[in-house]
Structure 1
């Protein structure tokens, strides 16, 4: 593995790690949506917990009665989003430094139980060419797709 791939993998691992930390490492799967187009960076994160797909601010709704609740304060959620966005910025710098194309969209899926990691990248402009939808809309659409297809 070359230096670029190693650092790229490290940054993606950091994105998954901070999302796992948000739920005290208690999730079945972690989903991270990252978008970087022009000077716009955006990210979202979702989970599969107890066979229920949930957005980050609704993770407690997937817990069983006796399970300890997660801290889903706005401050904590924004800290995760800030770290995700910083990782995206670092990936962008890494790509520039190594003369590699920066993905405009990254969809990361981590299966906690098996340790399997899957990533999909897109290099086309996605929300820049869209008049109405924002990066968050595309993230929400992906989450709906996840729930419907049980990815």
Structure 2
């Protein structure tokens, strides 16, 4: 791998790592949504835990009786989102520096047990051309799509 691919992979791994830390490494799958269009960065993350798809603020719903609760405070969620957004910004800088196209949308999936990582990227404008939907609407749609599979 070259410098670009190594750094791009490191930043994606950092996004997954902070999401794993949020649930104390107790998830079956981690999903990270990122958007970077027209200078605006947005992100979201959700999980598969105990066969339940859960948004970040609802991860305690998957716990068994007696399991220790996760800290799902607004501050903690914002900390994770800040780190993801910072990583997306670093990817944008890396793409510019290495003369590469910056993805407008990133969908990252990490399967914890197998260690398998899957990523989908879009390079066309996604939400900027949309009159009503925002980046978070697209993140919510992806959550619903995954949940329905």
* Alignment-derived partner of residue 147 in structure 1: 147
Counterpart of 1:45 in 2: which secondary structure? Answer: strand
TM-score (norm 2): 0.99
Matching residue of 2:40: 40
Matches within 5 A, 1:125-144: 125-144=125-144
Q: State the SS of the aligned residue for 2:119.
A: strand
Give 2:92's aligned residue: 92
Distance 1:147 1:46 in 2: 10
**Cα distance, 1:87 vs. partner?**
0.1
| Structure 2 SS opposite 1:119 | strand
Question: Unpaired runs of 5+ in structure 2?
Answer: none
- Correspondence 1:7-18 to 2 at 5 A: 7-18=7-18
The residue aligned with 2:106 is 106
Q: TM-score, normalised by structure 1?
A: 0.98
Q: CA RMSD in A?
A: 0.4
- The equivalences for 1:39-78 within 5 A come to 39-78=39-78
Unaligned 5+ segments in structure 1 are none
Aligned equivalents of 1:138 and 1:13: distance in 2? 22
For residue 106 of structure 1, report the CA deviation from its aligned partner.
0.3
Deviations 1:104-148 (A, max 9, x none): 000000000110000000001000000100000000000111011
